Amino acid sequence: MAKPKRTSSKKKKGTARVSDASNLVIVESPAKAKTINKFLGKDYQVEASMGHVRDLPKSRMGVDIENDFTPEYIISPKNIKTAKHLKASAEGKISVYLATDPDREGEAISWHLAHIFSEANKDLRIHRVEFNEITRDAVLEAFQHPREIAINLVNAQQARRVLDRIVGYQLSPLLWKKVGRGLSAGRVQSVALRFIVDREREIRKFVPQEYWTLDARLSSVDGPEQEKTFLSRLSRIGSEKPVLPDAVETEKVKKELEGLPFEVAKIDKTEKRRRPQAPYTTSKLQQESYTRIGFSSANTMRIAQRLYEGVELGSEGSVGLITYMRTDSVNVAVSAQKEAAQFITEKFGADYLPKEPPVYKSRKSAQEAHEAIRPTSAYRTPDSLKEFLAEDELKLYELIWRKFIASQMVPAVDEVTSILILAGEKFWFKTTGTRNVFPGFSAAFGEIRTERDTAKDGEDDTPEVSEVPELKVGQKLKLLELPGEQHFTKPPARFNDASLVRLLEEKGIGRPSTYAPTISTLLDRDYCERKGGALMPTELGETVTDLLVQYFPKVLEAEFTALMEEELDEVEEGKIEWKKVLYDFSGPFNELLAKAREEMKNFKQEAVPTEYKCDTCGKFLVIKFGRFGKFLACSGFPDCKYTRSIPTGFFCPEPGCGGELVKRKAKGRRSFYGCSNYPRCTYVTNNLPKKEDESSSAPQDAQRPQGQ
């Protein structure tokens, strides 16, 4: 790499650390700076911007809607020190290399930094460098081929930022006025919340339907020797699917079957090839991280950030272990494919390597220039990193590593055997079994578990047998038993991190960088809460959703939000001017906003009388609505400002207490239930007990949670 000559300069007192480097490099985080600094050498000084230095102000909208949507960019008070330090670091340098993240947000950060540096020194040479992994080869290659800032990416980010301001900074104050302070609304978060609310209402409306399945326990041997038995399920009666709505109908069929001859009618053996899945995109990583190792979306991204930015590997120094973790592409670099092929051949054998490297197709809007999430070296196995990684880091890295190695391997091959058995002339039973013939990619990744959100109720879910019996067509079978089993159809499952992220991706809502923050915001704002791993809307979340759907139906339509994402992609591709997107959106939105300000119901002014009395002045308490939902307040407000949580109807189980359990919020906004007699009684529980009788309010099984 050619090293430009350094011009002489004197360091001003109190500005930046002394450096003999000719070039300044700006990255986003100190961890990334530390890793990259070791690759570039003494002629490069690497500093961190700590994210955005220049941005829209937080205290106001910062967008002049009346003047062509002109954004007002400022250096916020908390970033003034950083900006001064970066400008001082640039003094005397020949070039500045902007090495922020390889996405829209990173491009915008570079654009803002370029503006700051150009204001201070118009002659300073500014370059943009981009790399998908923080390894020596990738970083040095990027610095050999710097480029200009991609203004289309910047404009796409500006359009998204301004759109979010138009929605958030006008809808949120409306919610403050009508519902409670501290609430927020947003283009993506409000649609995600609507999904959660709609699903909860589906569950409430759901009425379980009874149905039965009927199996036959059969023996492949008819004689005195030891019998080998297996189960086969009734799959057809004549040409129709069996309808067994209750025990009575099931018994009728059983009586018809008793005494009938059972005979093997057909045996099919087929070979099934199971292809490996593509290496991870951001959404797929969040989904499988949740289902396989139990990490929330936010935690997954935090850990992935550490793995990307660099981990100390002893004598090897600090190295980025994975490629950039915010991506919707499944592309893999040719060099990475070659290394993986060599590793697979050495570790598993040539039979596990396909003749040509696999090619996976990204979804339509994916940024093809990016790569999928993969390890930066196939030879950096999880076992080799055990002493360097924390437990959660190792778990996530192993998931990424195994997924990538498996994606470069051949399919697994199974032998699927299907046996049809005829009882009498019209009763057909079916048994299926699967035997693995060749493990293929599963040797690296294991069996891929797919998550089913909803059961396909009443289907012929033919049971898989662990070992398919050796049978022949025409062979007579002995009936041993006809066990019937009662089932009930199940409601759709509540969303969890994995299923919500999958739906957002399928609907084209948001980008890889928005999924985890969206879920975190919904939890932080108390719009939903976790029940186990599921996301369950709060009363506040349902109220806000109903208001927004009523007055801003277009904004909360999944199709409309997806269309906005497509237009932002077109801005990035240079097909649409970014301010046209803003004009098309703001006109209709402002009309709805004006109507809502006049007509929206004011929940803050509602006060529903109760029989509870104020502990301070003795007046009756009323139910009001606030930031965290409904609460009890003194009817004597503003003279008396007493408030308390609404009782749940459960009494405190502590002997002699007599208080009621009420919902409370802890630091970090985690919900729990505590005694209304606090601080005299400190009983708490994470979950309310189940009611054995709806008329009973005494919690017989309430327990003090561990660690409380």
Give catalytic residue positions: 324
CB 435 within 8 A of CB 291: no
Closest by Cα among 255, 238, 257, 248 to 212 = 248
CB atoms inside a 10 Å sphere around CB 472:
8
- The residue type of 676 is S
Instruction: Return d(Cα 234, Cα 489) in angstroms, integer.
Output: 18
Q: Look-up: residue for tokens 């959404």?
A: 283
H helix runs in 150-216, sequence order: 151-178, 187-205
CB 510 within 8 A of CB 518: yes
Instruction: Return d(Cα 366, Cα 254) in angstroms, integer.
Output: 55
Instruction: Return d(Cα 699, Cα 500) in angstroms, integer.
Output: 33
Closest by Cα among 541, 500, 546 to 671 = 541
CB atoms inside a 10 Å sphere around CB 595:
12
Count Cα atoms within 13 angstroms, Cβ side, for 120.
20
CA 251, chain centre distance (Å): 47
Instruction: Return d(Cα 73, Cα 54) in angstroms, integer.
Output: 6
Instruction: Return d(Cα 125, Cα 142) in angstroms, integer.
Output: 17
Q: Which residues pair with 434 in a beta bridge?
A: 416
Phi, psi of 262 (to 5 degrees): -110, 130
Angle CA 51–54–60, to nearest 5: 110
Element holding 442 (H helix, E strand): helix 442-445
Two structure tokens written together for 485: 């089993």
Two structure tokens written together for 101: 């993240």
**383: Cβ contacts below 8 Å, ≥ 6 apart:** none
Fill in the DSSP letter of residue 692.
S
CB atoms inside a 10 Å sphere around CB 86:
23
Count Cα atoms within 13 angstroms, Cβ side, for 255.
6
Instruction: Return d(Cα 180, Cα 184) in angstroms, integer.
Output: 10
Instruction: Return d(Cα 584, Cα 103) in angstroms, integer.
Output: 25
Residues in the chain: 708
Closest by Cα among 363, 297, 326, 403 to 506 = 363
Two structure tokens written together for 569: 């992609």
Two structure tokens written together for 258: 């008793």
Instruction: Return d(Cα 550, Cα 624) in angstroms, integer.
Output: 21
Two structure tokens written together for 494: 């509540």
Instruction: Return d(Cα 445, Cα 656) in angstroms, integer.
Output: 56
CB 94 within 8 A of CB 9: no
Query: By CB neighbour count within 10 A (0-12 exposed, 13-18 middle, 19+ buried), where does 419 fall?
Result: buried
**Cα dihedral sign for 234, 236, 238, 244?**
positive
**239: Cβ contacts below 8 Å, ≥ 6 apart:** none
CB 124 within 8 A of CB 117: yes
List strand residue ranges (DSSP E) for 334-449, in order: 412-423, 427-438
